[in-house]
Structure 1
């Protein structure tokens, strides 16, 4: 039993697409699409397949890459990474998570949805509201609100 190269390309291309569908992120959709298109051309118009194969591969790769990128952007839209410049924290309100003690950075406060090491001029118990005075390195200087 002899299998035609066109059918082999289509089968391998389909397997790659199935792998991509079941385990997204391997990025085998583009080569899978190329193999399917090239296999179909080999089967349908074999006289052009060998001569035009490089052009067909490049065009198919470009089109399927663009479609794949658009598809992945829709199913997993990009989002900005969570980052906070400490310069903008001054004046923000928060709540004490771990008791704050003067001259110690073991205290913890929640400002927004982030937890920061904090210190203050007086003891501030957990659960109390605070306001950020300034940032000192990666720690916050706070006072009770």
Structure 2
């Protein structure tokens, strides 16, 4: 099998995995693999040139798009959908004990949750803060 075909397969796999993770890092690696595939078509006998071209493309995309995405996120009118969880109501699914996370359902999603007081399953809560993967909640009306 020709090297460029392997690069195209690798690019396809990376791009499909990226669709599930949404991190953009695998996207840049996938595009780097596509660059290596094109170089493989032009220089089929030089694996080193293919690897260097793919690596350089991935590295440049990673370095130069980080400031662009940061600028986009800080632009006027941009709101992260996850930030909109603050203020929404949810239902405790797994009890929250002080010092240990529980589970809260907000809309159709379940999240890990912490609170300043113990909360039992079935209690209605309000999201007061969002961490990376954990929501801080308070008993509704509390």
Q: Same fold (TM over 0.5)?
A: no
Larger radius of gyration: 1
TM-score norm. by structure 2 comes to 0.40
TM-score norm. by structure 1 comes to 0.40
